[in-house]
Each structure stands twice: as C-alpha cells, then as structure tokens.
Amino acid sequence: MSKTAPINMRVEPSQHALLTKAAALLHKDRSAFILDVVCREAENVLLDQRLFYLNEEDFEAFETLLVAPIAESEKLKALLTEPSSWE
C-alpha cells in the first residue's frame, strides 16, 4: 500500500530521544515505531467506547438479541467453567 498521507509533529528533544531509543530497541525506525504505537492506542480508544447510538429499529433488534436465551454450547460451557488466568 502506498503511503500518501503525511503526519507531521514537533516534539521536545527529550521526547525525540525517548522515541528514538525505544524504536531502536525494537529494531524499527522511529516513524514505524510511532505509527505502530499510535495505531494500537487508537484501536483501543475505539474499542473502549461504551456509549453508542441506535435508531429505534436498530435498538429494538439489539434489545431482542440481549433478551434472547443463549443457545446451548459445549464451547461456551467449557469457557465459563475454565479458571481465570489470574486465579
């Protein structure tokens, strides 16, 4: 994929040094390091959204799914009876 959208920013010398050092530890150039970290954080921000809006039709469909009984599933039973990794 061709990279055509530039992102420019100015940083403090100490931030520049920090990013350069961290990128070097991962054997990446600074731009690749910054892009990886920023994209990962952006995905987390988007995944962490707890508020979403639905029109009435979509809300009714969502609510129907929420109250519907859960189908029997051996995989789900196994998952729910498996001890948590922190236990």
The reported pLDDT for the residue numbered 69 is 92
> Six-digit token pair at 64?
């129907």
Q: What is the pTM of this model?
A: 0.55
What is the C-alpha separation between 80 and 76, in angstroms, rounded? 6
Total structural domains within the chain: 1
**87 part of a folded domain:** no
**5 part of a folded domain:** no
Cα dihedral sign, 7-12-17-22: negative
**6 part of a folded domain:** no
16 close to 34: Cβ distance less than 8 angstroms: no
Ranges of residues in the chain whose predicted pLDDT is under 70: 1
The reported pLDDT for the residue numbered 30 is 96
The reported pLDDT for the residue numbered 85 is 78
- The residue written with tokens 């994929």 in the block is 1
